[in-house]
Amino acid sequence: MKLLNGRELAGFIKERQARQVRAMSKKPKLLIIRDSDNPVIMKYVNLKIKYGEDIGIIVEDYCAKDSTDIATKIKSANQDSEVSGIIIQLPILDKSKTDELCNLIAPEKDVDGLGVNAKFDSATATAINWLLTGYDIKLNQSKIAIVGRGKLVGMPLFKMFKASNYDVSLFHRGDDLTMLKDYDIIITATGVPELINNTMVKPGACIVDAGTASEDGVLKGDLAPEVRDRNDLSALTPITGGVGPLTVTCLFDHVVQ
């Protein structure tokens, strides 16, 4: 079984980015806006701060009081020539404001690719595409299922794969997921711990678990442990170090650009 190690691929790209930044007369700056200290949120914020330090990019972490404060900070950063990229670390507390706030980010600074006019593709969706192609998973010869219709992963990845004419289907977490056993590749990103169990996965399947949730302070993915214990899968992301590192790498690639 192939272990889809995003850290390994990210390492090569990171070296190239560091060289690019060293050659710049002015260092890029990424602004991260959040309104929560949730452990999952902070895990990804701290990853980005550390990554920025490693390659020479300035990262500002701003904790907003509410959605109005987020909007004010975005508008200010849009006009600030020192800020190269802006992201909102999702989810925010008032999820109903997500689209509205993402669309406030100037398209050329929307490095997460979440606004309707963003210059860049979704960083997480791109990272999954990089991961699968980097490990020579034959997307054009496979039946692909995406579980989760979220703004960060499911929807943008579905659109990306449809545009490439892949055989891809999109599932909601509340659908009959036993149908997944008909698919060669399963990409899941619902944030529902242990949603995907053995009844949903056929032998030889390739699984990308991009789901993250926190239970009693412990980070969990969408896969049940019984699926991870199988030895008849063709490829699988590790519990940590799969999609996450490449997402951060892709995000910073956009900042460098």
Cα–Cα distance between 16 and 47 in angstroms, integer? Answer: 18
Q: What confidence score (pLDDT) does residue 39 get?
A: 86
Pairing between β-strand 218-220 and β-strand 206-209 as defined by DSSP bridges = unpaired
Residue 242, classed as helix, strand or coil, is coil
Q: Which domains does the chain have, with CATH numbers?
A: 2-117+245-256 (3.40.50.10860), 123-239 (3.40.50.720)
What is residue 188's predicted lDDT score, i.e. its pLDDT?
97
pLDDT of residue 218: 73
What's the token pair of residue 114? 């979440």
Contact status, residue 250 vs residue 123, Cβ threshold 8 Å: yes
Model pLDDT, residue 44 = 85
Amino acid 241: pLDDT: 87
Which regions of the chain are under pLDDT 50?
none
pLDDT at site 220: 84
